[in-house]
Amino acid sequence: MNDHGLLHREPVPERYGRLQVLAADLSPAQWLIEGAPGHGAFATVAGVAAPGFEAYARVLHPASLDERPVRWATVAAAHGTRVTPGTHWHEVIGAGRDYVNRSDHGLPGVWDEHPGEGPTPPDVAQILIPLLGRHTRTPERCFFGLWCGYGRWDFDRFPTFPTPGRDEVLLAGTLADAVSPQSLDEFAELPDLWWPADRAWCVGGDVDLTSTYVGGSADLVAALLSAPGLEAHPVAAGDTVG
């Protein structure tokens, strides 16, 4: 806290982890700006992960037990509920939408922490990276969007580009660099948006979501749905995200 009682915001250097913060040329994001479905579509899959792809997947952020990941399906079975492509976490545990304010969360021996809200969790990102890398010609040249509203970081000196409901700082690096903000500290947010220079796919997350959405080819989505380390479901561009 500073002398005025306000949260201290750390200045962002030219790099966010290994990702370069682009301060002049925002043209790599122009396709997203031009193709954005509008602010009214913010709560849709296409509003999070960009429209126009052949197929989409919803990748669930895992719950945890003793810091080990737990699948939503495992939690649902214990609670007598079920997980469908559009199921929300509070429906899995039989709670209201304000579940995050509940102090009595968890089920002994099954789960003790809710799924993380926000951009793709690092453990999920590490599984996504090699899968995504096999479905682009440009894994060494990728771009990323990071919401400028994360309170810890001061992005005021950098230009932003709009997406439905958010303004994003543009970053650049390799696909593997997506997890490099963790080198700043373990609580540094990963980018909300990822896409390669050939625009073969787009990964989208948001500060308020417990899922990551991926748009791409049918082959990519099939790979995500069958990946043993992921819990993913097929979704459509117009499906709501909660």
Residue-level pLDDT, tens digit, the chain, 242 residues: 333 334 456 666 688 999 999 988 999 999 998 877 655 566 899 999 999 999 999 999 999 999 999 999 999 999 999 999 999 999 999 886 655 545 457 999 999 999 999 999 999 999 999 999 999 999 999 999 999 988 777 888 899 999 888 899 999 999 999 999 998 888 899 999 999 999 999 999 999 999 999 999 999 999 999 999 999 999 999 999 97
Q: pTM of the full predicted structure?
A: 0.91
CA atoms within a 13 Å half-sphere pointing along the CA-CB vector of 208: 10
Residue at 4 is within a domain? no
Please tell me whether residues 85 and 151 are part of one structural domain: no
* Residue that has been written with the tokens 């060494």 in this structure: 140
Same domain, 68 and 128: no
Residue 110 in domain: no
Evaluate whether 39 touches 162 at the Cβ level (below 8 Å). no
Task: Give me the pLDDT at residue 42, please.
Answer: 66
Task: Quote the CA–CA distance of 156 and 189 in Å, as a whole number.
Answer: 17
Q: Are residues 168 and 207 in the same domain?
A: yes
- For residue 100, what pLDDT is reported? 55
The domain boundary residue, chosen from 38, 71, 101? 101
Compute the residue count for the chain: 242
| Within a domain: 196 | yes
CA–CA gap between residue 242 and residue 97 (Å, rounded): 10
The closest alpha carbon to 153, from 188, 177, 119, belongs to 188
Domain count, the chain: 2
Residue 174 and residue 71 share a domain: no
Predicted local confidence at residue 4, as pLDDT: 36
Residues sharing a CB contact under 8 Å with residue 48, sequence separation 6 or more, in sequence order: 42, 164, 204, 205, 206, 209, 213, 241
- The closest of 115, 111, 123 to 65, measured between CA atoms, is 111
Task: Name the residue range of residue 97's domain.
Answer: 63-101
- Same structural domain, 147 and 168: yes
